[in-house]
Every structure is written in C-alpha cells, then in structure tokens.
Structure 1
Amino acid sequence: MQAAIKEATIHMGTTAGKQLLEDISAARQEVIVLSPFLNAEQMRLLLKLHQENVRITLITTLCHNMIGNLEGDDFRAELIKQYKRKDPEAEHKKESLKGLITFLYVALFSFILTGIYTYLYYYAYAQVCMLVLVLLTLFVLCTAASELRNTSLYRYSYKTIFPLKIFIDPGNQKVKNSSKHFIHAKAFIIDQSIAYLGSADFTCSSLSSNYESIIRTEDREAIQDLLSEVKRLCNNASDDMDFVDIEEWGKMIYDEPLK
C-alpha cells in the first residue's frame, strides 16, 4: 500500500515509544496492533483492554512455536476459546447403536444356547454353522460397541476472543508452513483517530529502552488506508504468507471428550 501523510510527528530515541504506549493504554474504543513481536506484558495489556470492552485486533507472527516472543508464557488458552454443541445426528446414531447392541447380545445368547443344543444332538456341519453365527455376531457386536465408544455427542469449534491473525515466520522449523515473506512492518491504530508507524515492536524494550523511530499521525485519510491494509491482511489477501489455523491450534490445547 501507499499513503500520503499530511501531518505527522516524528519521535526518535530511547523514549520514542512512550506516547505510543500511553495512547494505547488510554484507548476507549479500539486498538489495532500489527507487530511481528510482542511480549507478555504487552499481551496482558491487550487482554486488560479487551476486558474493558475495547475492541482489539492483533496481527503478529508465530516464532518458535509461540505467539511472537512471549518470554515463555503461553496465552493460547486465554486467546482461544472452545465451544461445543450437541450433534443431533450423533445422538440419533448412538441411540441406534445402543439398540443394535442390545439386539446382538440377545442374538449372541440365543446362538450360544442353540450351539450347545446342536453340539449335543446334530451333525458336525450344523455345529460349524452355529459356530460361524456366534463368531460373526460377536464380531459385529464388538464393531458396534467400538463405534459407540468413538461417537461423540458433541461437535467442537474454536474462536479467538478478539480478531487475531498469526502469520508464520518462514524460518520456523517447528511448524510446517509455506510462507515466503516475514511480516516486519509495525503499525498501531488507536480509536481510528491516531496511528503510529515505525521501527518499534510491541515489546517493553522497543517501547521503553531501544533507540527507535516512530511516526505519529492523526491524518484521517492515511489512517483509513492503514485500516484497509489491516483488513486485507486479516482476510488472507496473500498466498505467500501462511498463517496459524485456529481450529487446529484449538485441538492442540483443548480436550474433546467423547461424552
């Protein structure tokens, strides 16, 4: 994208991120963060703002099987929630299987009794036929019982607590991906009225101690262009950047009980 900025303030130095952090902390409606790296303290700030009903959108990068650089903390269970719903088809299937299993138990008992009688009073070929019937019934019974155990009454889905797009670092050796580009851009939009661009990631060191360069603007046209680019990224506009499948990640961190 390209955007012309009419008015902007440039911050450079070790305190360049101070006002950015203040503006994000003071947000009342919405905060959009595009940063390949963030740390635990900044993630907690976003979660706090979310709890205060501030709309959050986060675009970041998966590095070393974690969300950005979070100093060993794993926030996935807080960011991704599991939802379950009863599956009517599975419920009907379970009831049908229970009925079938009851019938098979009765049939198996009957075949065993008949087999004993056949063994005592009939020829060998009749005995073989009864044995085949017993074994076949037992096989079907075991199959139905296994199917009943493995049929879940529920279907599970996973959603993030706020819009979250996690692209995968092309150099990530732990997660299979087809990414060709690493997202290195940093952008922050607060309440759709303030935007920051520059070198600073959403980390404590970038916002408080690193020598960074940051541009702050309230130019509405430039902010609208940035919002359009954020929407494009969130809508998977590029085939050259692979991203985390939230459904798959949810299955990794949550159990899916069959009952």
Structure 2
Amino acid sequence: MYYNNALCDIYIGKGAGKKLMDDMRGAKHSVKIISPYLSPYLISELINLKDKNIDVKLITTNNIEDFYGDRERNIYKLIIQKCNTDFDKQIIRNKWIKLAETLSYISYGLIALSIVLAYYFRDLKIFLGFIPIIILFLIRGLYKIKIKNLRIYSYHYTQLFPFKVYMCNEKTSLIHSKIYLIDGQIAYMGSLNFTASGTQYNHETRIRTTDINAIEKINKEIDDLFENPYMLAADLQLWGRQLYIEPIN
C-alpha cells in the first residue's frame, strides 16, 4: 500500500512501546497486530484482551521466542485441544474390559481349584487342568491388547483467537513489518516488535496515527496479509499434536 500526507506523531528512542501498550490495554473493541517477533509475557497481554471480549487478530512468524519451547509457555495457551469421543467404540471397549476381568476371575479360580484338588487327591495329573487355564490367559491377553489399541478418542485443535504464524527460512520471505491497529482508530508502525526489548529497552522508531484514510488502508493491508494464500503458515493441527498428549482411549 501507499498513502501520502498522513497526519501522525513520531517518537524515536527507548520506551517506544509505552503509549502503544496504554492504548492497547484501553482497547474497547479490537486489536490487530503484525510482529515477526513476540515475547511470551506480551502474549499474555493478548490473552487478557481476549478475556475482556476484545477481538484480537495476530500475524507473526516462527521467530516467536517460545515457538520451539516447552508447553507451559504462553504461546501454547493460544492453541486449544478438542477431544472427540467415539461412543460406539467406547461401549465395545467396556464390554472387552468386563470380558477380560471375567476371564481373569475364572482363570484364578481354576488355578485355586486345581491346587486344592491336587493336594487333596495327591495326583499330579490334576495339573493337566492348567492347559485350559493357560488358554484362558492367552485369550485374556489378546483382549487386553485389543483394549489398548482401540482408538476411542480423536483430536483437533482450535485457536483462542485468530492468528497466523508464517514460516520463514532461507526459501521464504520474512514478514518484517510491525503494525498495530487498535479499535480501527489508532495505528502504530515503526521498528518495535511486540517484545520486551522492543517495547521497553531498545532504541526504536514509532509512528502513531489516527488519520482516517490511513487507518482504512492499514486495516485492509492487515486483513489481506492474514488471508494471503501464497505464504506458508504453521499447520495448527500438526503444531497441536506436537504440543499435546493424545491418549487414544
């Protein structure tokens, strides 16, 4: 996009994110962000906004600080696991469990009976009765394997709010823009990433505008980038499977 003669404020120096964060925390309706880098604690700011029923939209890259980190970091709170239950298979599994338990009771009962009879009659031939007992244990073992391998649960993953994580490497272009749009009325652009260093410590440039025409174009640019069909985005389902445990039953 190109827009000329926009009215704006310019800030250069440290703490460039202070006013941005103040405006963002005071949002009434929506917050849209493009930032190739994110800090976990600032992701929590977006979660807080969502909890206040603010519409949040995020575009970032796999340069998120904890993209490859452990599951307790904040980025993973944006990915929600949904479990689907196959109730027909669950009924079958419960029947198999009862059958396996019944076979166990019968087997142990026959073992006890064989020992008593062998002791009472002093005849070791009675222990030939262990052959059907062994067969019962084998059958029970087969059912236990079937119970273990029967898939009852399947999973899919959803987002806490709409976000895209575009993958960047030596073959793909890096999204390097930093854009923040608040309530469709205030826009920030410049060098500051949505990180602790960018918003607080680094020497950054920041432009703030409420120019109506500029806001309209910026909003469209964000939405177009979010729906870009030519850029490779992280697969939410694959990412979720890497994050969460998925017991099958």
- TM > 0.5 fold call: yes
Q: Which runs of 5+ in 1 are unaligned?
A: 102-138, 172-178
Moved more, 209-218 or 56-65: 56-65
- Corresponding residue number in structure 1 for 2:236: 246
Q: Which runs of 5+ in 2 are unaligned?
A: 101-137
What per-residue deviation string (whole Å, max 9, x for no partner) do you get for residues 13-44 of structure 1? 21433322221121121111110112133222
CA 1:5–1:68 in 2, change beyond 3 Å: closer, same or farther? Answer: farther
Is 2:163 the counterpart of 1:202? no
Is 2:56 the counterpart of 1:56? yes
- The TM-score normalised by the length of structure 1 is 0.69
Whether the 8 Å CA contact 1:61–1:67 is kept in 2: the answer is no
Q: CA deviation at 1:9?
A: 1.7
Letter in 1 for 2:247: P
Q: Aligned equivalents of 1:69 and 1:97: distance in 2?
A: 40
- Corresponding residue number in structure 1 for 2:219: 227
Q: Aligned equivalents of 2:10 and 2:214: distance in 1?
A: 18
Letter in 2 for 1:153: I
CA 1:253–1:200 in 2, change beyond 3 Å: closer, same or farther? Answer: same
Q: Aligned equivalents of 1:143 and 1:234: distance in 2?
A: 51
Q: Aligned equivalents of 1:78 and 1:26: distance in 2?
A: 22
- Corresponding residue number in structure 2 for 1:45: 45
Alignment of 1:86-105 (within 5 A): 86-88=85-87, 90-91=89-90
Q: Aligned equivalents of 2:218 and 2:86: distance in 1?
A: 42
CA 1:17–1:64 in 2, change beyond 3 Å: closer, same or farther? Answer: closer
2:209 maps to which of 212, 217, 220: 217
Whether the 8 Å CA contact 1:196–1:214 is kept in 2: the answer is yes
- Corresponding residue number in structure 2 for 1:74: 73
What per-residue deviation string (whole Å, max 9, x for no partner) do you get for residues 230-250 of structure 1? 2233224224xx221111111
Letter in 1 for 2:81: Q
CA 1:194–1:236 in 2, change beyond 3 Å: closer, same or farther? Answer: same
- Corresponding residue number in structure 2 for 1:20: 20
Whether the 8 Å CA contact 1:56–1:163 is kept in 2: the answer is yes
Whether the 8 Å CA contact 1:34–1:59 is kept in 2: the answer is yes
- The TM-score normalised by the length of structure 2 is 0.71
Whether the 8 Å CA contact 1:37–1:203 is kept in 2: the answer is yes
- Corresponding residue number in structure 2 for 1:158: 157
Whether the 8 Å CA contact 2:81–2:240 is kept in 1: the answer is yes
Whether the 8 Å CA contact 1:31–1:190 is kept in 2: the answer is yes
Whether the 8 Å CA contact 1:158–1:250 is kept in 2: the answer is yes
Q: Aligned equivalents of 1:14 and 1:96: distance in 2?
A: 69
